[in-house]
Amino acid sequence: MKKTIVTRSANDKLYKIAKSFWSNENTFIQCKQFAGFSGALEYLLHLFEGNTYNGFIVNCDEDFFLTNESLVDAIIEQMKKDEFAYCGIPDGGVISHRNKSVFNVNPFFNVFNVDLIKTKFASFNNSKQFEYGNQVEKNANLDEPFAGFFYWLHLNFKHANFTNIESTDGISTIIKINDKPMGIHSWYSRHYGIDEAQTLRIDNCIEWALLNKQCK
């Protein structure tokens, strides 16, 4: 299945490595213009503005290393069937070092049904993030710049959560679908090539992905 893979990127070397795990038939879009803390929300919103994107797209970080692309294809097919707008791993209650909201997904890996989300996107207003959050849960967690957007998504659309995970080092996150590893997210890509310990740890995640890579 030909897909559009979109990545918010700050490290060309890491992006090139992550891209190499995907089939060449896909369309790849590297977004380098959304830097800094606020850039995380700006990046997500641009996916639904205008006519650049349509259909189903894969959003993934440049430190997510795919091991089984057929599982991504299966997710997209299931989302079509169930009319889900998005999917991902909850940003709280699943990953040991992520204690944000269990109602929001983390944007290190998502599949978005862009056309479906666009049907209501004009109603999103980030100045209402507290309102969105408080409609979902008491004491809404708005620590992340994208939290209000994911609360809004939660209020307006059906979605799928991935909760079957493992880790190679206590930090990394391996997403498992039907008990099969789909890929590994190392975290802390901003330290790659800067911090020696983190660079080595991320290189180990890349090596794990290479050893566990499944041919399509």
Long-range contacts of 132-135 (CB under 8 A, 24+ apart): 133/101
Q: In this predicted structure, what is the pLDDT of residue 216?
A: 58
CA-based end-to-end distance of the chain: 10
The two structure tokens encoding residue 188? 């802390």
Q: In this predicted structure, what is the pLDDT of residue 31?
A: 98
pLDDT tens, per residue, the chain with 216 residues? 999 999 999 999 999 999 999 999 999 999 999 999 999 999 999 999 999 999 999 999 999 999 999 999 999 999 999 999 999 999 999 999 999 999 999 999 999 999 999 999 999 999 999 999 999 999 999 999 999 999 999 999 999 999 999 999 999 999 999 999 999 999 999 999 999 999 999 999 999 999 999 875
Q: In this predicted structure, what is the pLDDT of residue 169?
A: 97
The two structure tokens encoding residue 64? 């997510």
Provide the H-helix boundaries in the chain.
12-19, 36-46, 69-82, 114-118, 129-136, 147-156, 196-212
Q: In this predicted structure, what is the pLDDT of residue 54?
A: 97
CATH of 4-212, one of 2.60.40, 3.40.50, 3.90.550, 2.40.50: 3.90.550
Domain ranges of the chain: 4-212
Q: In this predicted structure, what is the pLDDT of residue 155?
A: 98
Its pTM surpasses 0.95 = yes
Give how far the C-alpha of residue 148 lies from the chain's centroid of Cα atoms, to the nearest Å. 16
